[in-house]
Amino acid sequence: MPRPTFVAVSESALTHNLQRVRQLAGAARVWAVVKADAYGHGLELAMRAFAAADGLALVEFDGAMRLREAGWKKPILMLEGAFDAQDQLLAQQLDLSLVVHCSLQVELLLAGAATGPLSLYLKYNSGLNRLGFDAPSFRQAYQQLRNSGRAGRIDFMTHYANSELPGGTVSALKAFLQVTEGLNGERSTCNSAAVIGVAAAHQDWVRPGVMLYGATPYHDRSAASLGLRPAMQLGSKLIGIQELYAGDGVGYGWLFKATAPMRIGVIACGYADGYPRHAAANTPILVAGQRTRLVGRVAMDMLMADLTPIADAKIGDEVELWGSNIAIDEVAQASATIGYELMCAIALRVRRIRVP
């Protein structure tokens, strides 16, 4: 018998969320971001669900290879560009577009492992201070690439530091438009938060990630309120029940103590499955269709829930840790993290199920 712990991914929810992006982004084309195994949802499955996207964007070259092997014919954008000369050769063979964000990548291109012209996305650092050129070196890199004969298209991108804050993109967008002014190429700036919140930033291509998976990029607006559908369900079953007396403790360190007689359910899911160990007391959990709460410390393979609201709960009952009833963002918030981290952290041992 396999453990009852599973992750179910809904293709139709992914497709719905892509349509939602289209509604919001108007005429802009869509790079569906599928890095980190499609935010933990499965790369090939996401590829099928995002068949209507204009391109797929990721950071892993083995992932790009898998996409081509699985039959993806449309553009693929490598968001961190090439890590070495071999990658540039691979980009040529697989027809991948490469971000160019630093002078080493320019030098590699000029040194020329790849012989044919490559599709490039020159990246501007608009204040995130992670990847990208500042304004003077951006123009210089552009000229070097243009003159090299190694560049086919050169398009332009930046990535925001504060896109989820009101007005958080204004100065960065202005600087990006300034540094690319008069240059012939397409422009891409928007992650999910900017797709939703900053119509002026949509430009030629948007790059949504987390919203495609049905989680929110904001800390104060739910995915449901944004018209998104959760694509991932983390589920399991009750594998034990304990009757407690007043004063009994639960789990390692007795983090929770019963103040009155009560029943608790033991659920086969722990931090080694990807459930956050730091989930706070009272994090919501669905048991047999009823909302209840986490009690005690999350262990490697198990966690415990209060069965008080579910009088007839029994071993074998279905549990949803997150999904369409318990938003992943609720669990994330209770664990001092974001939905992104939880969906990417589902462990290898968790059984994967496809649902329509």
Ligand X SMILES: *Cc1c(COP(=O)(O)O)cnc(C)c1O
- Per the listing, tokens 């980190």 go with 36
Minimum CB distance to ligand X, residue 195 (Å): 7
| Binding to ligand X, residues 210-229 (CB under 6 A) | 210, 217
> DSSP letters along 243-297, please?
EE-TT-EESGGG-EE-SS-EEEEEES--TTTT--TTPPTT-EEEETTEEEEEES-
Considering 174, 252, 257, 314, which one is annotated as catalytic?
252
Minimum CB distance to ligand X, residue 222 (Å): 16
Burial 82-93 (b: 16+ CB within 10 A, else e): beeeebbebbbe
- The nearer residue to ligand X, 207 or 297, going by C-beta atoms, is 207
Strand, helix or coil at 48?
helix
Q: Which of 17, 119, 126, 192 binds ligand X (CB under 6 A)?
A: 192
Q: Is the dihedral of CA 177, 141, 100, 338 positive or negative?
A: negative
- The nearer residue to ligand X, 30 or 334, going by C-beta atoms, is 30
Rounded (10°) angle between helices 85-94 and 61-69: 20
- The nearer residue to ligand X, 80 or 306, going by C-beta atoms, is 80
Minimum CB distance to ligand X, residue 172 (Å): 13
| Binding to ligand X, residues 70-89 (CB under 6 A) | 79
Rounded (10°) angle between helices 85-94 and 103-111: 70
- The nearer residue to ligand X, 4 or 227, going by C-beta atoms, is 227
- Per the listing, tokens 């579910």 go with 310
DSSP run (H or E) holding 219: none
Q: Based on the shown chain and the rule CB under 6 A, indicate whether residue 56 belongs to the binding site for ligand X.
A: no
Q: Based on the shown chain and the rule CB under 6 A, indicate whether residue 106 belongs to the binding site for ligand X.
A: no
Which residue has the CB atom at the shortest distance from ligand X? 209
| Binding to ligand X, residues 19-38 (CB under 6 A) | 33, 35
Site string for ligand X, 259-298 (x = CB under 6 A): ----------------------------------------
- The nearer residue to ligand X, 123 or 237, going by C-beta atoms, is 123
Considering 35, 123, 124, 142, which one is annotated as catalytic?
35
Within a 13 Å sphere around the CA of 64, how many CA atoms are in the beta-carbon half?
Answer: 27
Q: Which of 207, 237, 293, 297 binds ligand X (CB under 6 A)?
A: 207
Window contacting ligand X (CB under 6 A); options: 90-98, 205-213, 283-291, 323-331? 205-213
Q: Based on the shown chain and the rule CB under 6 A, indicate whether residue 209 belongs to the binding site for ligand X.
A: yes
Question: Using CA atoms, how far apart are residues 110 and 13, in angstroms rounded to an integer?
Answer: 43
Question: Using CA atoms, how far apart are residues 312 and 237, in angstroms rounded to an integer?
Answer: 15
Strand partners, 263: 243
Catalytic: 35?
yes
Question: Using CA atoms, how far apart are residues 234 and 180, in angstroms rounded to an integer?
Answer: 44
Minimum CB distance to ligand X, residue 240 (Å): 37
Catalytic: 275?
no
- The nearer residue to ligand X, 59 or 299, going by C-beta atoms, is 59
Amino acid letter for position 269: C
Minimum CB distance to ligand X, residue 56 (Å): 12
- The nearer residue to ligand X, 99 or 294, going by C-beta atoms, is 99
CA distances from residue 332 to 21, 144, 248, 320 in whole angstroms, order as listed: 23, 44, 28, 15
Phi then psi dihedrals of residue 68, to 5 deg: -65, -40
Q: Based on the shown chain and the rule CB under 6 A, indicate whether residue 150 belongs to the binding site for ligand X.
A: no
Minimum CB distance to ligand X, residue 143 (Å): 24
C-beta of residue 268 within 8 angstroms of C-beta of residue 245: no
Window contacting ligand X (CB under 6 A); options: 1-9, 206-214, 282-290, 297-305? 206-214
Give the footprint of ligand X on this chain (CB under 6 A): 33, 35, 79, 159, 191-192, 207-210, 217
Q: Which residues are catalytic?
A: 35, 252
